Amino acid sequence: MSKKLENKVFLITGAASGMGKATVTKFEAEGAYIVAVDRNTSVIEVWDGHDQITPLIADVTKLDDIKNMAKTVKETYGHLDGVCNIAGINDLSYPLLETDDERWDNVMNIDLKAPFRILREMMPLMIENGGGSIVNIGSYAALRGNHGPSYTAAKAGLEGLTRSIAFSFAKNNIRCNIVHPGGCATNLTLGGQKYHEAQASLSNLIKAMPVKSFGQPEEIANICAFLCSDEATWINGAVISVDGGMSAC
């Protein structure tokens, strides 16, 4: 049987751990070639020896690094079939009155400005290729108001960016969709010193839901692979919740 992403080339960020690592693993299994990006130097060790994967250390908040991503794709593979913007951070549920400019800017730069810049640099490669597929990773937070304002605003903004790109580049055979994970068992969700009062409120809300609290990174990887495949050619501008039903509660 043919693999659904065979001989396609993708750029995937956040590739050293969590959802990014799971997505690279899934795409590799489906026959894709991947430029696997992470600012953590461990990305080299994680993907060393994988013939289909080119690991690249890069900071998605630095424009020179993003330009180097495009250069690496072009020089290594010659074309680009899609992008998965997975790298991101959480605001640790810090509420408005405890959110300073530094926290706001840091979340916005990684969760919203970086995907915008990455897609601006990668779009010419996909246009030249005759089309492509983009998956942005949002969050359940974009659909509800129970996270901190910086994270909620960034992910809601990413949804708007997704729709704009879907509309503007459909004529170029480029699709752009966003996936909103619920709680996912990754370091992003489980690690860090959260703002206790706000986090307690969110935890109590989640406990009251008739669904499991956490999904697995592989469950996000599966939908990314589907959206980037030819099985999803009629899906563009979609907002897809992958949260076990959390957003329906």
Is residue 151 part of the annotated active site? The answer reads yes
Q: Rounded distance, CA 182 to CA 206, Å? A: 10
Check the CA dihedral 170-29-48-74 and report its sign.
negative
SS (H, E, C) 164-231: HHHHHHHHHCEEEEEEEECCECCHHHHCCCCCHHHHHHHHHHHHCCCCCCCECHHHHHHHHHHHCCHH
Residue in 33, 94, 140, 151 annotated catalytic: 151
Instruction: Measure the N-to-C terminal CA separation of the chain; round to a whole number of Å.
Output: 39
Distance in angstroms (rounded) separating the CA atoms of residues 140 and 203: 14
What order do you get walking across the sheet with 53-57 strand by strand?
Answer: 53-57, 33-38, 9-13, 82-85, 132-137, 174-181, 239-242
- Which stretches does DSSP call E strand in the chain? 9-13, 33-38, 53-57, 82-85, 132-137, 174-181, 239-242
Neighbours of 242 (CB within 10 A): 20
Contact 93, 194 (CB under 8 A): yes
Q: Under DSSP, is residue 36 helix (H, G, I), strand (E, B) or coil?
A: strand
The residues carrying an active-site annotation are: 151
